[in-house]
Amino acid sequence: MVKYLVIIGVCLLTPPVWAKEKTVSMEELKLHNTSASCWILIEKSVYDVTEYITVHDSLRYDIRKWCGTDSTRAYSKKDQSGKTHSKKADLLLRKYKIGFYQLD
Ligand code: HEM
């Protein structure tokens, strides 16, 4: 019985995944083009990677120039290196998703 109450409690307290995701336009994306607030678009999703910038610095590549932009190509090719990000990087990226991109 207690087990079921705990499960119901967790379900009520945990917001659904889609609740924290919003729709972002190019206009709004472009506003977040600094290291103080860095959003990037990859495919159809928008990520707030502000907190990840300094971590990526330690990988000896500065991602600041991609803040506020469609970084799909840059991310998939590690800029111009032609290499792809690892599965680990793709999983990590999911953590920073804040919404979906919507055409203006
Ligand atoms: C925005 C455009 C981005 C570009 C152009 C870019 C480019 C690069 C480059 C050049 C490296 C170092 C070279 C190498 O390890 O092969 C690297 C490594 C890495 N990046 Fe990015 N990166 C971007 C965004 C991100 C984001 C948003 C994440 C995760 C949230 C991420 C996660 C990683 C990880 C984990 C590595 C270590 C190697 C790997 O696992 O593939 N990167 N990236």
How many whole angstroms separate alpha carbon 39 and alpha carbon 32? 5
How many whole angstroms separate alpha carbon 94 and alpha carbon 73? 17
> Which one-letter amino acid corresponds to residue 7?
I
Ligand 1 pocket test, candidate residues 39, 45, 53, 61, most atoms within 8 A of CB: 61
Tell me, in angstroms, the distance from the centre of ligand 1 to residue 85's CA: 6
Question: Smallest Cα–Cα separation from 52: which of 100, 97, 21, 101?
Answer: 97
Res. 86 pLDDT band, cuts 50 70 90: very high
pLDDT, tens digit, 9 for 90 and up, residues 73-83? 999 999 999 99
pTM of this structure: 0.85
Higher confidence at residue 71 or residue 21?
71
Entry field: residues in the chain: 104
For residue 80 and ligand 1, the question of a CB distance below 6 A is answered with no
pLDDT at 7 over 80: no
Tell me, in angstroms, the distance from the centre of ligand 1 to residue 62's CA: 9
